[in-house]
Structure 1
């Protein structure tokens, strides 16, 4: 009973955060000017110095289906993370993994353009899974399953062989390299957080 009461105050904030993510992504997806200036374009970043595209690209989606798919995945992961993490932690990991995935694109010449939350969600998924692995009961089992899904997906995609692969079902190239980069960033976030907690315990 105590545990349930302690967990309840975080859910309104988590739902507000999910709504904020959906709204920001909607603006960059459906407002033409924001879409055009938010999308990652390799030449614009490297040759014209439009570095802000590395920050905004994660919020831009190519169509309604792409938007709904990414936002639904992000929302589900944030709500799942809410079992063991605070809202601020989930949002920070989402943004850090998105930025890491987009920075990694600079090392992938085959990727001329990119938009979407998929890189960020792969990182958030792995970070969430690792957090759940440290919890008791059903949370640990969910963490194991999520870890297997994320790591298995990254392995099967083999982005180190082809950073981007055209997917007929979507009608555009899926940037698998961003998925792998996001997952690595998610692992890095978890390791850094564990180090910080351990450091605090030693000093305390």
Structure 2
């Protein structure tokens, strides 16, 4: 578990604080759509705008990976984090108002919902944790109303918060959980 957290922290720090990686990793809509720089769909989630942004996402990732690690293998949680991050970038391609993006927050919303739903399946873990976290993610996405304003400038951060990424991440997390449940259902023999 600690190795997974160190991997997320290290990769995101490297992408955020090495100038060349930051410049070539950030999601830039025009560079992806018109310039063929498709790798930005994979790298943008690791790029952060400043040390506070990085630290907030890094701490949230650590907490969610620790929670998910109680219910599933760490490898699965990392896979969901990456899948949600890529899904967020692909979704942002459909939102012309978002010209650039960086950070783990969209992917973390997906990981949070997926982890919360996964916790509900594990006997011995408090169901209240899964229920409250699920409701928290859903309520946050609803309150942000990204369908009305995909980006909102946040003075305390000094940049626009891409709320559409949070909603896209939550939808991706739900999709990952549904796919996981479908796959488990196929692998589990039906009772006679």
Instruction: Report the TM range for the smaller structure's normalisation.
Output: over 0.9
Say if 2:21 is the partner of 1:53: no
- The more displaced of 131-140 and 92-101 is 131-140
Partner of 1:170, secondary structure, is: coil
Secondary structure of 1:73's aligned partner: helix
Name the SS for the 1:202 alignment partner.
coil
Query: Which residue number corresponds to residue 144 of structure 2?
Result: 157
Q: Which shifted more, 15-24 or 137-146?
A: 137-146
Q: Once the 2 structures are TM-superposed, how far is the Cα of residue 46 of structure 1 from its aligned partner?
A: 1.0
Q: Any idea what the Cα deviations from partners look like across 1:4-49, whole Å, max 9, x if unmatched?
A: xxxxxxxxxx110100110000110000000000000111111111
Alignment length (residue pairs): 191
**C-alpha distance in structure 2 between counterparts of 1:44 and 1:55, whole Å:** 13
1:42-87 deviation line (CA, Å, top 9, x unaligned) = 1111111111111100000000000000010011000011111101
SS at match of 2:172: helix
> Structure 1: 5+ residue runs without aligned partners?
1-13
Q: Which range is displaced more, 133-142 or 191-200? A: 133-142
TM-score, normalised with respect to structure 1: 0.91
Aligned match of 1:128: 115
Other-structure match for 2:54? 67
Cα distance between partner residues in 2 of 1:196 and 1:105: 28
Q: Which runs of 5+ in 2 are unaligned?
A: none
Separation (CA, whole Å) in 2 of partners of 1:33 and 1:135? 43
Alpha-carbon distance between aligned partners in 1 of 2:113 and 2:96, rounded to the nearest angstrom: 26
1:192 aligns to 2:185 (yes or no): no
2:134 is matched with which residue? Answer: 147
Q: CA RMSD in A?
A: 1.2
Secondary structure of 2:147's match? coil
Structure 2 residue 18 is matched with structure 1 residue 31: yes
2:188 and 2:124 mapped to 1: Cα distance?
25
Residues 1:177 and 2:156 are matched in the alignment: no
